[in-house]
């Protein structure tokens, strides 16, 4: 993965017990974390599209491949956050869903491009 | 896929690849041209000052519950008392927003430039694609689609017997236009991706009135219900310190 969390991107979560329901996130850091997610998803959807095209996936298999890539991305991001999602993001949806459909368009484009160049001519 | 079309490899070399490369390069060019044309505004000192006051007041409102009630009240009085509070705007001093808009023609100019730098390359590329590459079957998407997509994907080919998944060159241009956004945000940084959103913000902020913002922020600060979030932190601190000592 081309991007990672810098030291500054760890959100402030100071309070521990009895205060867990309080919102103690640093908005800027949260924003930067989400940007990291967006970049890694876009990057991986482009790379995944090229791979799917070169391997010649057709129809449903290609979309399944996209879901697989995104699932792997989510897992990798979770691992990168050292499995404590809540100290970096406010909800799980940030890791699992954000940028999911934004990447689909790039994926389809690069999938088509690579597939055409390699297979149909 | 019984009746596969046989496409000439020359189409790949002279239509598909050049078209895609040109789209990417034009996106990069557009980014740099709009960067060059962006005029740097000299911000007005008073407006900047008011903006900073608003930011400070907003921070206070957001973090109100983390300071003791007394401190919060003192800060609120500092911002919003009726005599010399920072957010208090004396009557009659409010500037007419319309007049302000006309006094700064740079703003309208800037917006027009930005719009032009989007529209002109797009029209030119579209004309170029139409002129050189009209009528090619340039690509084939690797998944089946319904007939409904025919007008979208086979723009420029008037054959109803061709399988829908074949894409004409003009439609490949459109696919590129939408699909390359992700790539641009990777290679050009985030400004490009947020360009549209930024423009919208500018539109709505066009001719905005800082004094009105001050008033709104003052009202917001006045109605904050203060509720201290850390009533027990002294005990906790004591416990921690005792643990350290013993």
Extract the tokens encoding B45.
């000192």
Cα–Cα dist B235/B232, whole Å? 6
**Chain A contact for B11, CB < 8 A?**
yes
Question: Hey, of A21, A112, A117, which one would you mutate to test binding to chain B, going by the most B CBs within 10 A of its CB?
Answer: A112
Radius of gyration of the CA atoms of chain B, in A: 29
pLDDT reported for residue A45 = 92
**Chain A contact for B21, CB < 8 A?**
no
Question: Hey, of B66, B143, B239, which one would you mutate to test binding to chain A, going by the most A CBs within 10 A of its CB?
Answer: B143
CB pair distance less than 8 Å for B7 and A121:
yes
pLDDT tens per residue, range B149-205: 887 788 777 777 778 888 888 888 888 888 888 888 888 876 654 455 455 455 444
CB pair distance less than 8 Å for B183 and A105:
no
- Put simply, the chain B residues between 188 and 207 with a CB less than 8 A from any chain A CB are 190
A13 with A87: CB under 8 angstroms?
Answer: yes
pLDDT reported for residue A17 = 41
CB pair distance less than 8 Å for B141 and A113:
no
Radius of gyration of the CA atoms of chain A, in A: 17
pLDDT tens per residue, range B41-99: 677 777 778 778 888 888 888 888 888 888 888 888 888 887 777 777 666 555 555 55
Angle at A118 between CA B148 and CA B8, to 5 degrees: 75
Instruction: Please choose, from the candidates B84, B83, B72, B111, the residue with its C-alpha nearest in 3D space to the C-alpha of residue B222.
Output: B72
pLDDT at residue A105 is higher than 50: yes
**Chain B contact for A18, CB < 8 A?**
yes
Q: Please state the separation of Cα A118 from the chain's center in Å.
A: 27
**Which residue's entry shows tokens 């719009």?**
B115
Instruction: Please choose, from the candidates B197, B175, B182, the residue with its C-alpha nearest in 3D space to the C-alpha of residue B114.
Output: B197
**Chain A contact for B9, CB < 8 A?**
yes
**Which residue's entry shows tokens 């996209």?**
A66
What are the residue ranges spanned by the domains of chain B? 9-245
* Nearest CB to B142 within list A35, A58, A105: A58
pLDDT reported for residue B151 = 79
Task: Answer with the residue of higher pLDDT: B204 or B147.
Answer: B147
Phi, psi for B94 (deg, rounded to 5): -65, 135
Q: Please, what is the average pLDDT of chain A? A: 78
Q: Please, what is the average pLDDT of chain B? A: 77
* A-B C-beta contacts closer than 8 Å: 78
Task: Answer with the residue of higher pLDDT: A91 or B101.
Answer: A91
Contact list in B for residue A53 (CB cut-off 8 A) is 142
CB pair distance less than 8 Å for A53 and B142:
yes
Average pLDDT over residues A51-66: 91
Average pLDDT over residues B90-109: 61
**Chain B contact for A59, CB < 8 A?**
yes
**Chain B contact for A62, CB < 8 A?**
yes
**Chain B contact for A102, CB < 8 A?**
yes
Q: Determine whether B133 is exposed, middle or buried from the number of CB atoms within 10 Å of its CB (0-12, 13-18, 19+).
A: buried
């Amino acid at each position: 993965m081309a991007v990672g969390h810098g030291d500054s991107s760890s959100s402030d979560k100071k309070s521990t017990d009895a205060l867990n329901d309080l919102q103690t996130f640093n908005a800027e850091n949260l924003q930067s974390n989400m940007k990291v997610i967006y970049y890694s998803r876009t990057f991986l959807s482009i790379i995944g599209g090229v791979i799917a095209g070169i391997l010649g996936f057709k129809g449903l298999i290609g979309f399944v491949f996209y879901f697989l890539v995104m699932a792997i991305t989510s897992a990798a991001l979770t691992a990168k956050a050292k499995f404590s999602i809540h100290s970096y993001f406010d909800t799980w949806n940030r890791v699992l869903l954000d940028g999911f459909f934004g990447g689909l368009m790039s994926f389809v484009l690069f999938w088509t491009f690579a597939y055409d160049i390699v297979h149909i001519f | 896929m019984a009746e596969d079309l046989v496409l000439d490899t020359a189409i790949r070399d002279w239509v598909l690849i050049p078209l895609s490369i040109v789209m990417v390069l034009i996106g990069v060019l557009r980014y740099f041209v709009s960067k060059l044309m962006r005029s740097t505004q000299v911000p007005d000192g008073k407006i900047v000052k008011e903006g900073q006051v608003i930011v400070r007041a907003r921070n206070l409102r957001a973090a109100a519950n983390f300071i003791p009630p007394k401190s919060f009240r003192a800060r609120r009085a500092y911002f919003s008392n009726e005599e010399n509070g920072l957010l208090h705007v004396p009557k009659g001093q409010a500037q007419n927003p319309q007049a302000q808009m006309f006094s700064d023609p740079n703003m309208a100019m800037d917006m027009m430039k930005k719009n032009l730098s989007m529209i002109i390359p797009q029209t030119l590329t579209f004309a170029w694609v139409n002129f050189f590459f009209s009528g090619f079957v340039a690509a084939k998407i690797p998944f089946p689609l319904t007939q409904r997509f025919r007008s979208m994907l086979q723009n420029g080919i008037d054959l109803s017997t061709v399988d829908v998944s074949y894409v004409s060159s003009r439609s490949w241009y459109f696919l590129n236009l939408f699909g390359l956004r992700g790539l641009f945000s990777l290679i050009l940084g985030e400004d490009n991706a947020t360009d549209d959103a930024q423009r919208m913000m500018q539109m709505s902020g066009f001719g905005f009135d800082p004094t009105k913002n001050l008033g709104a922020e003052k009202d917001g600060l006045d109605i904050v219900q203060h509720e201290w979030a850390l009533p027990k932190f002294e005990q906790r601190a004591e416990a921690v310190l005792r643990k350290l000592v013993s």
